[in-house]
Amino acid sequence: MRLFIGVDLPVKLKQALLDFQSQLKLLGVNGSFKSQDNFHITLEFLGELDVRKISVLSEILSKVASNRGRFELEIAGLGAFPSFKRPHTLWTAVNGSLTKLNRLRDDLHQELKNKGFVLDERQFKPHITLASRPRLDNIDFSVVQSEKLGKFIVKDVVLFESRALQGKRVYEVLYRAGLGIAGSEN
């Protein structure tokens, strides 16, 4: 099973992201656009794991989530990995309570390492992927560069399975762990 841990988004925000993709297409952006159902913020990519790891992962998510309170994030702007000149991924930025998001991600990362999971050690850069392999030739992004797409409260962390279904990536929720009471953090 191909697994990752992330933050799911509310339906209203997913619709705003879909509308934003439409704006980008009108500007001339081409590429492999993500479906509305696949919008999320990845906290930790786990890769191919045996189904028997789900119970351990569920325990880790529950433990970490119970020690972290809810917080607000804002989705806005546009970026590209590694750059707009050589884009592999087009994304929108995550802002707001980034300190709390980073603490949540760091806690997950440490607990996973403690349980023997092999993880990517690159710096965490929260974002929401809009398109893969985009073609951005001579496009003026100034009209959408600072577009604010919405705010939402992070209420839980999710263990997702990523599967190929009829040539498309589908993300299925395997486990959801609710964050503790707001304000419970130090």
Q: Which of 127, 128, 136, 154 is catalytic?
A: 127
Q: How high is the pLDDT of residue 181?
A: 59
88 is catalytic: no
User: pLDDT below 50 — which residues of the chain?
Assistant: 182-186
Q: Which own/partner contact pairs does 160-166 have at CB distance under 8 Å and 24+ positions apart?
A: 160/3, 160/4, 160/5, 160/6, 160/40, 161/1, 161/2, 161/3, 162/2, 162/3, 162/4, 163/2
The pLDDT of residue 65: 96
Render 37-102 in DSSP notation, one character per residue.
GG-EEEEEEEEE--GGGHHHHHHHHHHHHHTSB-EEEEEEEEEEES-SSS-SEEEEEEEESHHHHH
Half-sphere CA count of 79, side-chain side, radius 13 A: 14
Nearest Cα to Cα of residue 80 among 93, 67, 99, 71: 93
Describe the crossing of helices 98-114 and 54-66 by its angle, rounded to 10 degrees: 140
Looking at residue 97, its pLDDT comes to: 96
Q: CA 138 to CA 125: how far, in whole Å? A: 26
**Span 56-72, pLDDT tens digits:** 999 999 999 999 999 99
Contact 78, 163 (CB under 8 A): no
Cis amide leading into 82 (omega within 30): yes
Q: What integer pLDDT is reported at residue 145 of this predicted model?
A: 85
- Please, are residues 161 and 174 in contact by the beta-carbon 8 Å criterion? yes
Residue ranges and CATH numbers for the domains of the chain are 2-178 (3.90.1140.10)
Whether 40 is catalytic: yes
pTM of the prediction? Answer: 0.92
- The catalytically annotated residue of 34, 40, 68, 70 is 40
What pLDDT shows up at residue 182?
A: 43
Residues 37, 173 contacting (CB under 8 angstroms): no
Q: What is the amino acid identity at position 163?
A: R
